[in-house]
A and B are shown apart, each in its own frame.
Chain A
Amino acid sequence: MRTPLYDEHIAAGAKMTAYCGWELPLHYGGILAEHVAVRRRAGVFDVSHMGEIYLSGAGAFDFLQALLTNDMRRLETKPWVYSPMCGESGGTVDDVVAYRHGDGFLLCVNAANTEKDFAWIRQNAPPGVCVENVSDSFAQLALQGPAAADVLKKADLSAVLLQSGTGYTGERGFELFLPPAAAPKLWREMTEAGAQPCGLGARDLLRTEASLPLYGHELDEDISPVEAGLERFVCFEKGNFIGRGALAGVRPPRRLIGLTAQGRAVPRAGCEVLGDGVPLGKVTSGCFSPGPARGIAMALVTGEAEKYEIVIRDKAEPAVLTGMPFYRRAK
């Protein structure tokens, strides 16, 4: 599948890659240059592959409260709320951003999970709640970086249906939903105003530095949001929700930790983590972080250790426990 910005990507010289059935830009020449553009100025990402599911009807709010782990009453004071969505066993079905939209709620879901989520939500929806997969009705742009607000001011936002101060990079920024046909014009306005087109490569690097979870890595059907360090998005006080029984009062043995490699080899997802020489778990995401010029990794481990190592190409490479996020923007 192609997003409405496919021709813009090709014209900008993108190296395209396959992701969840989509042809998306991996980079436009250099991942590190795009990374630095977002950290210092502004970058724009085509995230039109993300799925959108719309909930409406009289019982939509109560259903949302039961479906998601976070407290949706937060939508009374802010236009969007991030939340994991759990199964009965406490494993994570997906992590989503919920928006108030029209008379209902729009859920922005991971591209890889759109069909699965749609089936899960429909299966759990009570009579009277209408669940629609409206992914084809939306393109989505993420404008990120310290200069994002300046770029936004220079763009014509009249076609934008929904806008939030969210992102997946650790920088200030905006995510904008708009009709697919209107996306190329806004994309061009943003790039002409100085936003660097950025691909999936930079996106993964930026989100790993910001320690933001990626479904399929830090979260999946067998990993609970509590294990992934997302307990602040699980609200037990709000009442019942799917997965509550499995999550409440349980201190899981596994937890997500941050590690910084001391050598120059780069840890990658799947690498084994050793604690005092004993296997503790696996790296869920790893990348080269340009700031420290070292590899960084998130890892799901059991127990604690004095000395950590990551096995990279059969060699145990020393690593140090690092507080997350690895990168925090200056206030």
Chain B
Amino acid sequence: MRYYSKDHEWLYIVGDTGEVGITNHAQNQLGDIVFCEAEPPGTALAAGEAAGAVESVKAASDILTPVSGEIIAVNPDPQREPSLLNSAPEETWVFRIRLSDPAELAGLLDEGAYSAFCDE
């Protein structure tokens, strides 16, 4: 199941872990993305903390983790080829996190609610 945050990250849940990336809306607002990084595996974060960053030609933007937990993997693909986040934002995860509090998922949006949020 895929969740969305109001900070324009998506979270795809598999068991007690989730893959996190930036939404299509986010990449659209950022424009040409030229840089992507994430905190290394082992980093423990609270929901809403910066887990990484993307930079477009225009500006830098933090990637905030939608849920609390520990980073368990970082995807090398968008670091090698940042434009993947423009061309395939919802297929390109940036980091994988092990959730410490699955109850936080209730505070996130589903696809319909996120889409409505972006249209506001």
A interface residues, Cβ below 8 angstroms from B: 26-27, 30-32, 201, 205, 264-266, 268, 287-288, 293, 313
Contacts and interface: CB of A to CB of B under 8 A. Distances in A.
Interface stretch (B2-10, B30-38, B91-99): B30-38
Given A27-B31, A32-B32, A205 B57 contact: yes
B57 A32 contact: yes
Contacts of B32: 30-32
A111 to B, nearest CB: 19
6 contacts: A30-B31, A264-B34, A266-B34, A266-B55, A288-B55, A313-B60
Interface of B: 31-32, 34-35, 37, 53, 55, 57-60, 79, 82
B108 to A, nearest CB: 25
A31 B53 contact: no
Nearest to A201: B58
B57 A265 contact: no
A288 B53 contact: no
B57 A31 contact: yes
Contact of B35 (A26, A30, A205, A265): A265
A39 to B, nearest CB: 14
Nearest to B53: A313
B34 A268 contact: no
Nearest to A265: B35
A288 B60 contact: no
Q: Which of the listed residues B55, B58, B60 has the most CB atoms from chain A within 10 Å of its own CB?
A: B58
Contacts of A313: 53, 60
A31 B83 CA distance: 13
Contacts of B82: 264
A265 B60 CA distance: 9
Given A264-B34, A288-B35, A31 B58 contact: yes
Contacts of B57: 31-32, 201, 205, 287-288
Contacts of A288: 34-35, 55, 57
Contacts of B34: 264, 266, 288, 293
Closest 6 CB pairs of A and B: A288-B34, A31-B57, A32-B32, A266-B55, A264-B35, A288-B57
Contacts of B58: 26, 31, 201
Most buried by B among A31, A264, A293: A264
A205 B57 CA distance: 8
B31 A265 contact: no
Contacts of B60: 266, 268, 313
A205 B31 CA distance: 14
Nearest to A205: B57
Contact of A31 (B31, B35, B55): B31
A32 to B, nearest CB: 5
Contacts of A264: 34-35, 37, 79, 82
A26 B32 CA distance: 13
Nearest to A26: B58
Contacts of A201: 31, 57-58
A197 to B, nearest CB: 15
B78 to A, nearest CB: 11
Most-contacted residue by chain A among B53, B55, B57, B59 (CB, 10 A): B57
Contact of B37 (A30, A32, A265): A265
A313 B61 CA distance: 10
Given A264-B82, A266-B55, 10 more contacts: A30-B31, A31-B31, A32-B32, A32-B57, A205-B57, A265-B37, A268-B59, A287-B57, A288-B57, A313-B60
Contacts of B59: 268
B73 to A, nearest CB: 20
A127 to B, nearest CB: 48
Nearest to A17: B58
Contacts of B55: 265-266, 288
A27 B29 CA distance: 11
